[in-house]
Amino acid sequence: MRLGYSRSKNSIFYYAQKTVYVDGKNKSMIVKKFGSEKHICETYGVTDAKAWAQEQVTLMNLAEKEENAPVSIDFSPVKSLEDNTQRCFNGGYLFLQDIYYGLGLDRISRAVAKKHGFKYNLNSILSRLIYARILYPASKKSTYEDSRKFIEQPDFELHQIYRALSVIAEESDYIQSTLFKNSIKLSKRKTGVIYYDCTNFYFEIEQTGDDRQYGVSKENRPLPIVEMGLFMDAEGIPLAFSINPGNQNEQLSLIPLEEKLLANFGMSRFVVCTDAGLSSAGNRKFNADKDGNRAFVTTQSIKKLKKHLKEWTLDVTGWKLSSDSKDTCYDISSIDEAEHKDSIFYKSRWIKEDGLEQHLIVTYSVKYRDYQRTIRNRQIDRALKTLKKGKACVESERQNDPKRFIKADHATKEGEAADRTMYYIDETIVKEEEIYDGFYAVCTNLEDDAQAIVKINRRRWEIEECFRIMKSEFDARPVYLQDSERIKAHFMTCFIALIVYRYLEKKLDEKYTCSQLIDCLREMNYLRFEGKGYIPTYTKTKLTDDLHAAFGFNTATEIIPIMKMKNICAQTKKR
């Protein structure tokens, strides 16, 4: 291979080329395009684009020469290992690195570094925070140590990580908006419908401060929390997030973050889909855009409907079948449940609440009814076990809390004060909840077909999965940091890691679970022999084959020569 170039009016373009023999003639073939002189200098931080391109051609020639040459390694049973010499390295991060650079996070890091004028390598720090959050989630100190497990070693110190966290937090809005714009170049983003939800993360620190406040914890832990609001597109890829005080009403978090989407992301036309907890009248009116650019779809609590609407919702007559092309009405109290086990019935009407006209759509499903009853029966069993242990109980009104079924009796049958409190399962509460089994309601200002609205709302499970991945696989909680800037930067790395992971899923056509993917990448280790190469120690499987096919490089050989591995590392950074 040799270096080739072509000139245009304003620049020089470099590429690697080789001569091939085709149909009895020698022809030049371009093997790899490196890009324009300006692109090379800006992307790889060099001043001499030609020298850099020539070096790449040299590496490619060495890798090609080594690739097919047999490698001989001698071992001695009496020779001791050298002290403090690392031999095993992880290469699974290379697939994440390909996505990281594809999203332009290296360019974002350089822009931030240039603005703040520091000398340490922000790109190296941010990338290792992302890879380690996915593969080895731990504290920042452990992340620094774990980054030495990667084939490419860190070029920064621990104290520089902590300095970088403050910068990452300060540039949060810039990073999020630029990352979104870069992602559009990587693949088309489906932002016609966007999803919003909130969760909270607890701290292993009892003192409150800044956003770290006592609030209603979704894990029922008596510890300070922060609230995270998250927007996600229709493909399940995060758009933007915000961190808010743990004692703030989550309904107040939607509009400020949505305004950032409108101002910084170049987004103007979309439908916002939320759950019932976020569907305040103010949030609905904000998205009932008079120009028709924005709209809302939100889960509606049937219990909170006005009496006449609740009666209409629970009325067993007047239901239609989503799969029925005829305009037939059904009585859901007399349907054949075996025949309609997988059917979804619906009815809809327009209502006016708080001066806002809304399309109320209600669905009924036998399968959903049975699911709700199964969950409730399990919760009742848990409540009974609590009672059998003879423990004092605190009554609860929180949804999904088994203690909501427990009633406390503080008086005798004669109405006198009892010496001790008696606890029992309140069957009245059970029967009240059973009334709503199988029913599900949605409100929107869209005039679309009811079935289309229901279909939009069904994808809300993906944003709940985003939170689950952050809390479980990424170990985003508990949080041990105290400084507000570092807390925000911690969640920024979790947010970016989630985006990188989602693109990894899509690269593999969503054929594998989160645990399968992460476990596979974590186990893709290599034993390095100085001067020789890297021997894979992982098990070659269909998943490793799919990874190599999707990303265009292969490490599933008996040994990867050193120059070939360097070439692979360089390939994952070329965009």
Angle between helices 158-170 and 172-186 (to 10 degrees): 80
Detail the DSSP E strand segments found in 355-450: 356-364, 406-411, 417-425, 439-444
Q: Which two tokens stand for residue 448?
A: 């679309």
- 112, 118 in Cβ contact below 8 A? no
3-state secondary structure at position 2 = strand
Cα-based distances in Å from 396 to 3, 37, 402, 563: 73, 67, 8, 64
Q: Which residues have a Cβ under 8 Å from the Cβ of 318 and sit 6 or more positions away?
A: 329, 347
The phi and psi torsions of 533 (rounded to 5 degrees) equal 160, -160
- 160, 140 in Cβ contact below 8 A? no
Report the b/e string of 376-389 with b at 16+ CB within 10 A.
Answer: beebbeebeebeee
- 393, 406 in Cβ contact below 8 A? yes
Rounded to whole angstroms, how far apart are CA atoms 522 and 538? 10
3-state secondary structure at position 270 = strand
Reading the chain (575 residues) residue by residue, the pLDDT tens digits are 899 889 887 889 998 888 866 666 777 878 888 889 988 888 888 899 999 999 988 888 877 776 666 766 777 888 888 888 899 999 999 999 999 999 999 999 999 999 999 989 999 999 999 999 999 998 889 999 999 999 999 999 999 999 999 999 999 999 999 999 999 988 889 999 999 999 888 765 555 555 645 555 555 555 678 888 999 999 999 999 999 887 888 999 999 999 999 999 999 999 999 998 888 889 999 999 877 889 999 999 999 899 999 999 999 999 998 777 677 899 999 999 999 998 999 999 999 888 899 999 999 999 999 999 999 999 888 888 887 776 555 555 566 678 888 887 766 556 555 556 677 788 888 899 999 999 999 999 998 888 889 888 888 888 888 888 888 888 776 565 567 888 889 899 999 999 999 999 999 999 999 999 999 999 999 999 888 899 999 999 999 999 999 999 999 999 999 889 999 999 999 76
Rounded to whole angstroms, how far apart are CA atoms 101 and 292? 37
**468-475: Cβ within 8 A, 24+ apart:** 469/498, 469/501, 469/514, 470/494, 470/498, 471/199, 471/201, 473/134, 473/137, 473/514, 473/515, 473/518, 474/133, 474/134, 474/137, 474/498, 475/137, 475/138
- 30, 14 in Cβ contact below 8 A? no
- pLDDT at site 194: 95
Rounded to whole angstroms, how far apart are CA atoms 493 and 245? 19
Rounded to whole angstroms, how far apart are CA atoms 211 and 160? 24
Type of residue found at 394: V
Angle between helices 93-102 and 122-135 (to 10 degrees): 130
pLDDT tens per residue across span 359-413: 999 999 999 999 999 999 998 888 888 877 765 555 555 666 788 888 877 665 5
Looking at the DSSP bridge assignments, the partners of residue 422 are 409
Q: In Å, how far from its chain's centre is CA 337?
A: 38
3-state secondary structure at position 389 = coil
The phi and psi torsions of 28 (rounded to 5 degrees) equal -90, 135
Looking at the DSSP bridge assignments, the partners of residue 396 are none
Rounded to whole angstroms, how far apart are CA atoms 169 and 188? 27
Q: Tell me which DSSP letter residue 212 carries.
A: B
pLDDT tens per residue across span 63-81: 777 666 676 677 788 888 8
- Could you identify the residue written with the tokens 């980054």? 147
- pLDDT at site 174: 97
**Rg, C-alpha atoms of the chain:** 29
**DSSP assignments along 329-347, one per residue:** -B-TTSS-TTTTTT--EEE
The phi and psi torsions of 429 (rounded to 5 degrees) equal -65, -40
Q: How many residues does the chain have?
A: 575
- pLDDT at site 212: 47
Rounded to whole angstroms, how far apart are CA atoms 437 and 511? 33
